[in-house]
Amino acid sequence: MRLDITPYDMAPGSGWEAHAHDDEALLSYARSGSCTQILSTRTWVVLPAHAVWMPPGVEHATLVGPKGCDFRTVRFPCPIPADLPSEPCVIEVSPLLAQLIAAWDETVLKDDARRGALRFLLYDEIRRAPHLDLGLPRVRDPRLLRVANALQADPGDTRGLDDFAAVAGMSRRSFIRHFQNETGVGFADWRRRLRLLMARQLLAEAVSVTEVAGALGYASPSAFIAMVRRDLGVTPMQLAKRARS
C-alpha cells in the first residue's frame, strides 16, 4: 500500500484556488481549526471529526477558516485501490484514524517498517470509515444564487419561502421546482444543510451553543439542540467537544 501524509499549518483566510490532482487521491483532515472544500457541485467544511475524500481529477478549492487550520493531506498515488471511494465524499474520522495520522508525524522518516505498518492501518481505517451526508449542494442559476448568497451571508435570516421566491424573481411554484432541479434537494433541506454546516464550523471555533442558535435563526437554544441531535445524532456540546478534541 502506497501513501504519504503532508502537513500544512494554514493561516486564517489562506488556501488554494481551484485545482485538481490527476495522479493521486487525497484525504483532507483538519487536526484543529477548520477549512472549507469547494467543489463544482457542493461545499464541505473540514473539521477534526470528519475528513473529505477527493478522487484523482476532481477540481476543488480550499479556504481556511478564521481560526486557521492544522491540516493534513493523506496522499494515495495512482492507481487507487478499488475498495476506496470512486466519488468525493465525507468520512467519519475514528479516534484510531486520528491517532494514526498523528503517529505518522512522530515517526522517524527512516523507520520504514513502522511507516509500512502505519500505511496498512491507515488504509484499512479509511476503507472502513462510514460515509456522511454533510455536503451543501452548490447553486449556479443567477436567480437562485441571489437567495443562496443572502442565506450564506446571514444563515439566521428568518424570511420564508415566499420571500425568497420574490428575491429570485420567481413564483413560489417556479422557485420550488427550479431549486430542486438545480441542487437535487428541496429549498428547506438545502437551508437546513447550510445551518448544519455553519453550526459545525462555529462550534469548532468555541462559539457557545446559545450564540450559535441565535446566529442561525433559532427561536431558542433547545430548538437548535433538537435539530442537531435529530440530524447528526449528537448534541451540539458533543459535536463541539469532538471538533476541538
Cβ–Cβ < 8 Å for 58, 19: no
Q: CATH 2.60.120.10: which residues of the chain?
A: 4-132
Residue-wise pLDDT tens digits, 131-160: 988 789 999 999 999 999 999 999 999 999
The residue among 67 and 137 whose pLDDT is bigger is 137
Residue-wise pLDDT tens digits, 46-63: 888 789 999 999 999 999
CATH of 140-244, one of 3.40.1190.20, 3.30.70.1290, 3.55.40.20, 1.10.10.60: 1.10.10.60
The rounded Cα 232 to chain-centroid distance in angstroms is 13
How many CB atoms are located within 10 Å of the residue 120 CB?
Answer: 11
What pLDDT does 144 receive? 97
Domain 4-132 has CATH 2.30.30.30: no
Cell representation of residue 81: 485501490
What pLDDT does 211 receive? 95
Cell representation of residue 121: 492501518
The rounded Cα 93 to chain-centroid distance in angstroms is 12
CA dihedral 137, 187, 147, 17 (to 10 degrees): -10
What pLDDT does 48 receive? 80
pLDDT bracket for residue 114 (50, 70, 90): confident
Mean pLDDT of 187-212: 90
Q: CATH 1.10.10.60: which residues of the chain?
A: 140-244
Mean pLDDT of 96-113: 79
Whether the pLDDT of residue 34 is over 90: the answer is no
Global pTM reads: 0.79
What pLDDT does 245 receive? 57
Mean pLDDT of 112-141: 89
Cβ–Cβ < 8 Å for 31, 71: yes
